[in-house]
Structure 1
Amino acid sequence: MNSELMTYIKNNKAEIFEHWLELMKNTETERIQSIVSESVYVKVSSDFVETILANPVIDKDSFIERLDDVIQRVVRLGWPLTYLTQGVRQIGQVVFEGYMGAPSSVGKVETKLLYEFDEWLGPIYNEIVEKYSNSWEHTIMLQRVALQELSAPLIPVFDKITVMPLVGTIDTERAKQIMENLLQGVVKHRSEVVLIDITGVPVVDTMVAHHIIQAAEAVRLVGAKCLLVGIRPEIAQTIVNLGIDLNQIITKNSLKKGIEKALEITNRKIVHVESEESL
């Protein structure tokens, strides 16, 4: 980039940023600004523009580090890639129009200047797309791991009795997680009875029933009984209509009744004790 253009950018950073903010209001940043405070939006935007404008005068490693920091913040805030890509284009437009209108640029060859802009902003654009994609994929992977850890917990409620509450759709990948957690939990908690609570499962089709039957059989093989609880009327009707055979699994319509049955299986029961005042 020629020295005159670099001098123009250095001397007009504040004006460039203000003009850039105005142009960005016409893009989908209106949606972004509706979910974050004005101060957060301006701070992140200022750091982004400052990083791009500083590119010609700082070394590559420092620039990549600063750009990576801004992109990670944008990803954490859930802002779209278009904020960055459109932002780069708008920076180029603001700087180009401002510089061409400055007295020092009179007589400059516009074609040559456009070539210099392409050399400056082209690699930045590509770097942003790559880093945003990598950062987004990494974030999604971490979220997926966290969801897997929370999607099928095995909770001990009484000695030798554990409950696995299921919420949401059950697909093949989640079914594998359920199976692993069940078998590991049965051994860890020395469970004799495991209750699978499907109250929060919206749909039980053939595939879901197949996964549940497999899980119950696996639990039986490690020496425990499996109870299926939380069967709502519409779920019961679906199971009957699909011809799914759950005869080998004890079923109850509520977790309360399931726990009562589990206590019975482990030779225990709930006893109501009268208070001293009623005696």
Structure 2
Amino acid sequence: MNNQIIKNLQKHKEEVMYAWIEEMKNEKGEKFFQYMPEHLVEKTSREFTALMLSNIEEGEDVSDEQSMEFATKIVRFGWSISFINTAIDRFSKVVFKHLEREGVVNGENYSRFFELHLNWIEPLRRSIIQSYSLEWERTFNLQKIALQELSASLIPVFEKISVMPLVGTIDTERAKLIMENLLEGVVEQRAEVVLLDITGVPVVDTMVAHHLIQAADAVRLVGSKCLLVGIRPEIAQTIVTLGIDLTDFLTTSTLQKGMEKALRLTNREIKEVE
């Protein structure tokens, strides 16, 4: 029976693949198969079909290399674990219907097919999901590192004046990185005034304010002044409601106003040229 199934699926591989694509297109809330270019959908589907049939054709588990290679692609395309499970279930359903139509599976040998199915699909599912989890974790960590590096850089904008734009949520780990980059940058750039721009920080709570105050104190200890800029009305309201004391902070609502204040603190000003 195994040989029959293998030969039949090998012969009708394209038919099975296109039937599976149609199943996935009809899946509620599905985006990849509906909005991605046709050639990309077909290429990815061909790779998925080859992966799904690899262990049943060879009679052994799919290799880690195969599943990891496919996992790398689907992580990039935004497939979730739930979506992967759905894709595997739909593929299994399409294969069963096809073999039933072909007369390869019937009432007499259904129990044998069910046993074969369990030994084929479930190990394959575990292998793909394990590879996906490893690849997703690796990608997430790389993105996290890249975001931290991009959003905690001290940028010299004028002589003696530098800006650090902060983007995203500030947790303890990021606060540590901000502090390190801030102090190293101040010394290296010989900045007398530093602007911490929190325009891109969605929430300022007690913990975030504490980290910002620590950063300002550290800047003062190395002989520079620190301005907190980009305080939106909702952030100001939160700071007042929480009773956070920023009296030792020089603050402005925008980076532009902060830059004007920084220039005055370094005995300079902007003048229009006539």
TM-score (norm 1): 0.84
2:260 and 2:101 map into 1 onto residues whose CA distance is 82
1:88 partnered with 2:88: yes
What runs of 5+ residues in structure 1 fail to find an aligned partner?
Answer: 275-279
Name 1:50's counterpart in structure 2: 50
Q: Matched residues in 2 for 1:77 and 1:98: separation?
A: 28
Secondary structure at the counterpart of residue 56 of structure 2: helix
Give identity over the alignment, percent: 50
Q: Distance in 2 between matches of 1:170 and 1:81?
A: 28
The answer to whether the 8 A contact 2:105-2:113 is kept is no
How far, CA to CA, are the matches of 1:166 and 1:149 in structure 2?
11
**Structure 2 residue identity aligned to 1:212:** L
C-alpha distance 113-203 of structure 1, shift in aligned 2 (>3 A): closer
Structure 1 residues 204 and 89: alpha-carbon distance in aligned structure 2, compared to 1, 3 A threshold: closer
Measured against aligned partners, the alpha-carbon deviations of 1:186-223 in whole angstroms (never above 9, x if no partner) come to 12212121111233444433333222211110111122
Deviation readout 1:65-110 (Å, 9 max, x if unpaired): 2332222111101022233322222333333333344356668522
CA distance, structure 2, for counterparts of residue 264 and residue 116 of structure 1: 78
> Counterpart of 1:216?
216
| Partner amino acid, structure 2, of 1:261 | K
C-alpha separation between the residues in 2 aligned to 1:104 and 1:201? 61
Larger Rg: 1
> 2-side partners of 1:213 and 1:106: how far apart?
73
The residue that corresponds to 1:277 in the other structure is none
Structure 1: how far apart are the matches of 2:153 and 2:252? 20
On the 8 A contact 2:197/2:229 being kept in 1, the answer is yes
Q: Which residue of 2 aligns with 1:199?
A: 199
The answer to whether structure 1 residue 152 and structure 2 residue 152 are counterparts is: yes
Query: CA 1:14–1:220 in structure 2 vs 1: closer, same or farther (change >3 Å)?
Result: same
* 1:122-137 equivalent positions in 2, closer than 5 A: 122-137=122-137
- The 8 Å contact of residues 51 and 63 in structure 1, kept in 2 or not, is answered as no
Residue 208 of structure 2 aligns to which amino acid in structure 1?
V
- Please list, as runs of the form range in 1=range in 2, the aligned pairs for 1:89-128 lying within 5 A after superposition: 89-103=89-103, 108-128=108-128
Matching residue of 1:138: 138
Query: Which residue of 2 is the match for residue 79 of structure 1?
Result: 79
CA contact (8 A) 2:152 2:165 kept: yes
**In the TM superposition, what is the alpha-carbon distance from 1:184 to its structure 2 partner?**
1.7
Asked whether the 8 Å contact 2:62–2:127 carries over to 1, the reply is no
Unaligned stretches of 5+ in structure 2? none
Q: Who is 2:162 aligned against? A: 162
CA distance in 2, matches of 1:103, 1:245: 78
SS of the residue aligned with 1:34?
A: helix
For residue 37 of structure 2, what is the amino acid of its counterpart?
Answer: S
Q: Deviations over 1:141-164 (max 9, x none)?
A: 111111111222211011121011
**AA of the residue aligned to 1:265:** L
Q: What's the CA shift string for 1:255-277, capped at 9, x where partnerless?
A: 33433332333343444444xxx
Say how many residue pairs are matched: 274
Q: 1:101 to 1:217 in 2, by over 3 A?
A: same
